[in-house]
Amino acid sequence: MPETPTLDTKEMLINVGPSHPAMHGIIRIVARLDGEVIRGAEVEIGYLHRGFEKMSETVSYNGVMPYTDRLNYVSPLINNVGYCLAVEKLIGLTAPERCQYIRVIMSEISRITDHLTCVGASAMELGAFTVFLYMIKAREYLWEMVEAVTGARLTVSYCRIGGVKGDLPAGFEAQCRKALTETRAVLKEVDKLLSRNRIFVDRMKETGRISGEEAIAWGITGPFLRGSGVAYDVRKANPYLVYDRLEFEIPVGRHGDNLDRYYVRMAEMEQSMRIVEQALAKIPGGPVLVEPESGKPVDLEKMTPPAKPESLPVMPAAVMVDKGKRGRIHEIRDRLAQVDPTLGGYDAATERQVAAGEKRVSLPPKEDTYGNIEGLMNHFKLVMFGHGVRPPQGEAYFPVEGANGELGFYVVSDGSENPYRVRVRPPCFTIMGALPKLLIGDMMADLVPTFGSVNMIGGELDR
Amino acid sequence: MFGKSNFMTTKLDAAVGWARKFSLFQYPFVTACCGMEYMATACSHYDVDRFGAGFPRFSPRQADVLFVVGTISHKLAPALKKIYEQMTEPKWVVAFGVCTCTGGFYDNYATVMGIDTIIPVDLYIPGCPPRPEYVLDGLMKLQDKIQAQHEGRETPPLPGMQRSLHESGFSV
Amino acid sequence: MNPASLCKTLADRFPQGVLGTHTFRGDATVTVRPEAMLEIARVLRDDPEFRMNFLMDLTAVDYLAFGKKPATGAFSNTGVAVRPPAEIGGKEAWPGRATGDRFEVVIHFFSLPLKHRLRIKVPVGGESPAVPSLTALWLAADWFEREVWDMYGIRFANHPNLKRLLMYDGFMGHPLRKDYPVNKRQPLVGPVN
C-alpha cells in the first residue's frame, strides 16, 4: 500500500485585536488555527477597565449615577434604573407610580436603541453597511426622545434615588408614538434586507452554537440565552417596577446560533415598543404623592395647599441668589422666588409626581431651595460634601433585565454617605467568558458574526 | 471656481493643504462611550462625509488622522502608542471626548490622565461625549490647522484649540 | 421557596457549615464556612429542593474600613429611618456580619425552575486568603473567580487558570482592596501620575 503523502501542517496562532476593524470594542482574541478552523481561543479583556467599582466608593450615592451611565453606554437608562432600584431596596423606599412608568418607558426605549446598535453593527461587520445606516437613523429618532426627556443624548444620568430628574415634557406621548412608527418602518426595511438575505443567513446560521443547558452553566442570560430556547427574562421571572401590569411576550429561538439571536433581538424590539405604547396609555397623569411610611398614594385634592401670599412681588431665583451673595438682603426681603426655566420640570407640582416624597432622599423643588430656608437646608443636607443620602447599614442585590441580560447591582452600605461597595453583575461578562466555547470548531470568518451577536460593550465588560 | 478661463493660479503649498484637508483618511481608535457619538457623526444623520472625512481606514498605515475615541486605560496605552508610531507622516491626532483630553472623571489607578501624556495631540474635542455638532466643529478646526501648516503659517489661534503638553516642552 | 424557608432548610441541612442566616430586605443570605462551601454549593445545584442552576454573580467585599467612617451628617448613623413598604418585607435591621474576617466572598445563586434567589457569603481572612473554587460545578465561575483574584487577591484553590483578568501583568497589588489608594497608578508607558 503506497504511503499517502501527508502535508506538514502546523497550528497557527493569530492575534485579533485589541483594535480590530471587524470588532466594535477593545478586546484581544488569540485564536489557534488549524487551517481555517479555530481549535482554541484565549480571550483577553480589561482594556477598558476604568475602575467603576473603586470610583463608586469615593462619591455619594447619587454621584454614582454618572458612572452607571458609562457602564453599558448603549442603553444607559437601564443602568440608571437598576442602580436606583438597588439603593431604593436597601433604603426601603418605593418611587411614585408615575415615576415607575417613566422608568419603564425610558428603559424600553433604551433597550430598543441597544438592539438597534447591536444588530446594525454586527450586520455592518458582515458587509451590510446599508443596514447600519438605517439602524443608526432609527436610533437618532429615539435619541431625540431621550434628549427631550433627559437633556442628553447618551450619558443621561436621568434617575435619582427615589425618583427621576424631571417629568416627561409636554407632548411627549405624541412624539414618542411618532418616533416608534418611524422605527417600525426602519425595522421593516431592515427585515426585508436581512432576514432572507442569502449571504447574511449563510454566515449567521449554525455558527456560534450553544445549547440551553450549556448557556445556563456559563451563566449566560438575556437575548443570548433566549436564542438558545430558554425563556428567562427578569421582567417575567422577578417582575420589578410595573412590568407585571404590562403585556408582552418573551421571544425565544430554537437553535442557539447567531441567526436565532438576530431574530430574538428583532422580535424583542417589537415587544419593547408594545411595552412603551401600553405604558404611555396607562401612565397616571396627575401628580402622585406617595406617603413614605405606608406607600399609599396621597390624594392631593384633599390636601391643603401651602399658603402662598399672592400679593408679594416675584423675583427670579438667580437674581435673588446674586443679590444675597452681595449682601443686599433688604432687596430680596418679602419676595417670592421664581424658578429659572432652565430648571424646568422640577418645580413643586412635577416633583411630587416623579420623586418619592421623602426629604432624606429626594431633593426639594427648586422653588423651595431658593425660596425658603427649609428647602435650602434640605438641599444642603443632600448635596454638600460629607452629607447626602445615607442608607442604613446593610446590603441588597437587585437584578433588572438589561439589554444584554441580567444586570444586577449589589450595594453594601456602612451607614455613611458613600457606598461601601457597589458591584455590577455585567451581563456580557459571562457571555465573553463563554466565547472560546462558541468559537472552537467554527471557521475563522465565523468569529465576526459570533462576536457581533455577543454585543460586547466594553464599559460594562471591564467596568 | 475656474471661471471662464478654465485655469486658476495658486501656491503649491496652499493647493496641497487644500487637498489634504478635504480628504482626511481617519483611523477611529474607538474604545468606549464616545464611539456611539462617533457612529452618530459618521452616519447619515450628521454625515461627516460632507467634510471629506467620511472614509475610515482600519489600518493605521493608510490613515492621516488618528481619532482617539474614548477612555484609554494603562493596559491599552502601549497599543495606542504603537498605532500612532505605525502611522505615516503627515499625521494628526484628535482627542475625542474628555477622557482622552484629561482623563475626565476617571481619576483612578486604571486610567491614563489624557493621551497627551503618551502621544502628541493636535486637536482636543472635550465633552462627555461631545455632541455630533461639536465633533463637526472640531473637524473644521482641524482642517483650518492643516491648511495653515501647509502655508507655513503658525496655526491660527482658534478658540478651543490648545497646545499639547509635548508642544509646550513637557517631557515624558 | 421563600427566603426564610430557604435559609432555614439550608441551616438545618448543614448545622456545622452554616455560620448564620438572615433575610434582610427579602434577600435570603447564608454565611457559610470556607471548608463547607463546596459541599453546600453542590447540594444547592443538584438537590431537587434548591435546583440553583445559575451562578449569577461571584464577587467579594473587603470589610477593612467598614463602619470606621465617622458620622459627619446630622442624620443618625443608622441612616434613613424610612420604614420599608410591605412588599419588601424585612422590617428588621441588618443583623451585621457573622464573623470578623476581613473579606467576604459573595455568591448569588438563582434557580430558573423554582425562581428563587440565594446569597451565599464566605468569610475569609488571613495573610493569603483562599477559598475553594467553584469552577468544577459552574463554568461561569471561571472568570468571576479570576476577577476576584485580580481585584482582591483572594485565591481560589483548584482553579485551573488563576491569573489576572482586568489588570495587566506587572500590576502590583489588588486595586479594590480598601488599602489600595484610588489613584495610585502603575503605567506601562508614560509618566507616573
Q: Is the pLDDT of residue A410 over 90?
A: yes
Instruction: Quickly count helices (H) and strands (E) in chain C.
Output: 3, 7
B66 φ, ψ to 5°?
-95, 115
Handedness of CA A173, A154, A78, A387 (dihedral sign): negative
CATH classification (class only), B14-150: alpha beta
HEC string of A72-96?
A: CCCCHHHHHHHHHHHHHHHHCCCCC
Find out whether A80 and A72 touch, Cβ atoms under 8 Å: no
- For residue A302, the model assigns a pLDDT of 53
Highest-scoring range by mean pLDDT, A81-95, A280-294, C81-95: A81-95
- For residue C179, the model assigns a pLDDT of 86
- For residue C8, the model assigns a pLDDT of 86
The mean pLDDT of A405-423, rounded to a whole number, is 88
Amino acid at A270: E
What grid cell was written down for A356? 418619592
Find out whether B122 and B94 touch, Cβ atoms under 8 Å: yes
Q: Does A344 touch chain B (CB under 8 A)?
A: no
Q: Where are the domains of chain A?
A: 59-288
List of chain A residues whose C-beta atoms are within 8 Å of the C-beta of residue B105 = 55, 66-67
DSSP string for residues in A154-171: S----EETTEESSPPPTT
Of A26, A54, A154, the CB nearest to B76: A26
CB contact under 8 A, B77 and C186: no
Question: What value does the CA radius of gyration of chain B take, rounded to a whole number of Å?
Answer: 17
- For residue A409, the model assigns a pLDDT of 92
The mean pLDDT of C8-36, rounded to a whole number, is 87
List of chain C residues whose C-beta atoms are within 8 Å of the C-beta of residue B113 = 193
C136 versus C81: the higher-pLDDT residue is: C136
- For residue C82, the model assigns a pLDDT of 40
C105 pLDDT band, cuts 50/70/90, is: very high
Q: pLDDT tens-digit profile of A9-55? A: 788 888 887 877 666 778 888 888 888 888 888 888 888 888 888 88
Find out whether A163 and A96 touch, Cβ atoms under 8 Å: yes
Q: pLDDT tens-digit profile of B71-105? A: 898 888 888 888 888 888 888 899 998 989 888 88
Architecture of domain A59-288: Orthogonal Bundle (1.10)
The mean pLDDT of C2-30, rounded to a whole number, is 85
Of B75, B107, B117, the CB nearest to C168: B75
CB contact under 8 A, B36 and A117: yes
Distance in angstroms (rounded) separating the CA atoms of residues A1 and A402: 62
Q: What percent of chain B has pLDDT over 70?
A: 81
Between the alpha carbon of residue A148 and those of residues A163, A169, A282, A355, A458, the distances in Å are 18, 7, 21, 19, 27
Distance in angstroms (rounded) separating the CA atoms of residues B79 and A15: 13
How far B84 CA lies from chain C's nearest CA (Å)? 13
- For residue B171, the model assigns a pLDDT of 43
State whether residue C6 is helix, strand or coil: helix
Predicted ipTM > 0.95: no
The mean pLDDT of C32-53, rounded to a whole number, is 88
Number of B:C CB contacts under 8 A? 38
CB contact under 8 A, C191 and B117: yes
Q: pLDDT tens-digit profile of A94-128? A: 787 888 888 899 999 999 999 998 898 888 888 88
C22, C23, C25, best to mutate vs chain A, most A CBs in 10 Å: C25
Chain centroid to CA C106: how far?
A: 1
List of chain A residues whose C-beta atoms are within 8 Å of the C-beta of residue C83 = 92, 292-293
A166 pLDDT band, cuts 50/70/90, is: confident
List of chain C residues whose C-beta atoms are within 8 Å of the C-beta of residue B109 = 175, 180-186
A partners (3+ CB pairs within 8 A) are: B, C
Of B32, B39, B75, the CB nearest to A459: B32
Question: What value does the CA radius of gyration of chain C take, rounded to a whole number of Å?
Answer: 19
The mean pLDDT of B22-31, rounded to a whole number, is 85
Between the alpha carbon of residue C124 and those of residues C18, C41, C128, C156, C177, the distances in Å are 14, 17, 9, 11, 14
Q: Where are the domains of chain C?
A: 3-157
Q: pLDDT tens-digit profile of A327-346? A: 787 887 777 776 654 444 45
The rounded mean pLDDT for chain A is 82
Q: Is the pLDDT of residue C109 over 80?
A: yes
List of chain C residues whose C-beta atoms are within 8 Å of the C-beta of residue B108 = 182-183
Q: Does C172 touch chain B (CB under 8 A)?
A: no
The mean pLDDT of C20-37, rounded to a whole number, is 87
Q: What is the CATH number of domain C3-157?
A: 3.30.460.80
Q: Is the pLDDT of residue A396 over 50?
A: yes
Instruction: Quickly count helices (H) and strands (E) in chain A.
Output: 20, 12
CB contact under 8 A, B105 and A143: no
Q: pLDDT tens-digit profile of A148-157? A: 888 888 888 8
B155 pLDDT band, cuts 50/70/90, is: low
The mean pLDDT of B39-43, rounded to a whole number, is 84
A181 pLDDT band, cuts 50/70/90, is: very high
Q: Is the pLDDT of residue B40 over 80?
A: yes
- For residue C106, the model assigns a pLDDT of 92
Q: pLDDT tens-digit profile of C67-99? A: 776 544 333 333 443 443 444 444 567 777 878
Q: Where are the domains of chain B?
A: 14-150
Q: What percent of chain A has pLDDT over 70?
A: 87
Find out whether A53 and A422 touch, Cβ atoms under 8 Å: yes
